[in-house]
Amino acid sequence: MGSILLDLLANSGFAGLTYKHIIMIVIACIFLYLAINKGYEPYLLIPIAFGMLLVNLPFTNLMMAANGRDTGGLLYYLYQGTDLGIYPPLIFLCLGAGTDFGPVIANPKTLILGGAAQIGIFGAFFGALLLNMSGSEAASIGIIGGADGPTAIFLSSQLAPHLLSTIALAAYSYMALVPVIQPPIIRLLTTEKERKIKMEQLRPVSKKEKIIFPIVTTMLVLLILPSSAPLVGMLMLGNLIKESGRVPKLTETLQGSLMYIITILLGVTVGAKAEADLFLSIETLKIVALGLVAFATGTAGGVLFGKLMCKLTKGKINPMIGAAGVSAVPMAARVVQKEGARANPSNFLLMHAMGPNVAGVIGSAVAAGIFFQFFL
């Protein structure tokens, strides 16, 4: 009887449990707490954290071949959708079906603000190079500054898969902290007078304009930068499906069930890459620090360019809307609205901020395309 118990113990997970596994299990539980109790990006942080938990329980063999077999575990096969770059473009397809580009069409100048906010991506990229990281690693880290989780996952899965879980967690953590990180930067870079600026109501956008926009944008962007096709192409296809008004069932599926299915698969497989030996390293701390710098720099870049546009338009543009150029939709736009109402209770900036906000989605996808072209 004693030998049976000893044999059972020797083959249990307890026998293979190391201090690194315990640390990763604790980290996974902390992320689960933040997602469930605090509501920080729960749709993705819950599956990411649970995937992290699963892969760090010894002998589960969910991400690798077990006992010398050639076949992998469950998460190994599900991960192929992430590894082959399938899940993130599908997420963009779903996002497109839920995005209204009306504010951008009504005020095309906001496209420039969405582009200006991407400066954080390239700032972090060069910072990572200075820390002796490779070009592909630096590009994957820099994309965190776009505050676009699917884009960060897509790029890092292709260029630096060993950093995937850390980059994904950093990206979604900073996205969840948008209401904490952005307001101090906005107040630091703008005056009270600038924050009080009221903007004119946006003109109505016709259905025809909304249908033409994704078609023309796809052609222009992909002719200039073909490597951005997986993300930009899927984003615009989803938007065209929605704006056509001809296939409501497809729109409903993209906005609902398909989005949630792909989110679960993407999240749990990304989390499953957070194995203890890979995650617990100095590189992880560098990524977290550079991600924060990228995000803060992107916010600052958008606000500073907003100040320039404010001067050029003689006070017709509230510079705060530039902060929404990071593509954390719609959280960044809500932060701008809140700050505008705080300075002037009659101020309503939400729709104006949505312009650079959705433009930032396109901007981060284009930035990913640039890195993809140079480092793949």
In 3D space, the residue among 307, 335, 334, 325 whose CA is nearest the CA of residue 362 turns out to be 325
pLDDT at 91 over 70: yes
Domain-located, residue 77: no
Burial call 202-215: b when 16+ CB within 10 Å, e when fewer: beebeeeebbebbe
Domain-located, residue 276: yes
Q: Which residues contact 37 (CB under 8 A, 6 or more apart)?
A: none
3-state secondary structure 244-264: HCCCHHHHHHHHCHHHHHHHH
> Domain containing 126: what range?
85-375
Domain-located, residue 189: yes
Domain-located, residue 103: yes
pLDDT at 196 over 90: yes
Domain-located, residue 347: yes
Over pLDDT 90: what percentage of the chain?
62
Structure letter (DSSP) for residue 187: H
pLDDT at 68 over 60: no
Helix-strand-coil percent breakdown of the chain, rounded to 5?
Answer: 75, 0, 25
Domain-located, residue 202: yes
What mean pLDDT is predicted for residues 339-362?
Answer: 92
pLDDT in tens, 103-155: 999 999 888 998 898 999 999 899 999 989 999 999 999 998 887 888 999 99
Residue 70 buriedness (CB in 10 A; 0-12 / 13-18 / 19+):
exposed
Higher pLDDT, 61 or 99: 99
Domain-located, residue 151: yes
Cis, peptide link before residue 184, omega less than 30° from 0: no
Number of folded domains that form the chain: 1
Mean of the per-residue pLDDT values of the chain:
90
Domain-located, residue 64: no
pLDDT at 66 over 80: no
What mean pLDDT is predicted for residues 345-349?
Answer: 91
